[in-house]
Amino acid sequence: MTRFKLTIEYDGGPFSGWQRLAEGPSVQGALEAAVERLTGVRAEVTGAGRTDAGVHAWGQVAHVDIAKPLTADQVRDALNAHLRPDPIAVLAAEVVDPGFHARFDAVRRLYEYRILNRRADLALERGRAWRIAAPLNAPLMAEAADRFIGRHDFTTFRDSQCQAASPIKTLERCVVLRQGEEVRIECAAPSFLHRQVRSIVGTLAEVGLGKRTPEDVAAALAARDRARCGQVAPAEGLYLKAVRYA
């Protein structure tokens, strides 16, 4: 039995999320079906993070155990062949130690959120970014983003259905970058609460629109009250960019 580490990208639009469900297509389910077609054996594909419905990935990481004698390149190419036409691609496969765990061994997860700040509707980027028509003050958003960096109780920015044992998380990076009409928000942490990034982004967007100040954001964080959170940004702008390991 060989354990393979997979680096995966996908368009989350057609899926109910990463996690396999009894009903509805999932990224995990599609990968497991591809593994079964390759090996003839049903095996669990374990991901580093459970992205929600509509959320995309450039660098999701997973592991799977395969008994069939295959090289890493053969696993990558065969899985991609069996995944078509689903919008999922195995970018790389590598043999790892049998004790490697894609989720529990991860030390940092990096998410990126894309906003297109323009009046015109989206055509090529529809389903892959959040369009905000009114002008955004990106420097003020960046100032507000600084309030999130560090170890905090993120109850305000935690989904009401979140099952994490504790709302306390350490946000190592939260930056706002603007290039032309695109505003990108990057967040990095060892782990995240359910919909934490989308909750943060929605509140930062309200700062950019002049509906809140950076001081309001700090007060909302300190309040530890979900009712103080701004709008939750839509799923289609969010990407799991990378997962880091020691």
- For the annotated catalytic residues, the residue numbers are 52
Report the C-alpha gap between 81 and 38 in whole angstroms: 9
Residue type at 224? R
What angle do helix axes 214-223 and 196-208 make, rounded to 10 degrees?
150
Core vs surface per residue 210-228: b (16+ CB within 10 A) or e: eebebebbeebbeeeebeb
Report the C-alpha gap between 236 and 132 in whole angstroms: 13
**Collapsing DSSP states into helix, strand and coil, what is residue 240?**
strand
Q: Determine the Cα angle at 240 with ends 109 and 224, to 5°.
A: 65
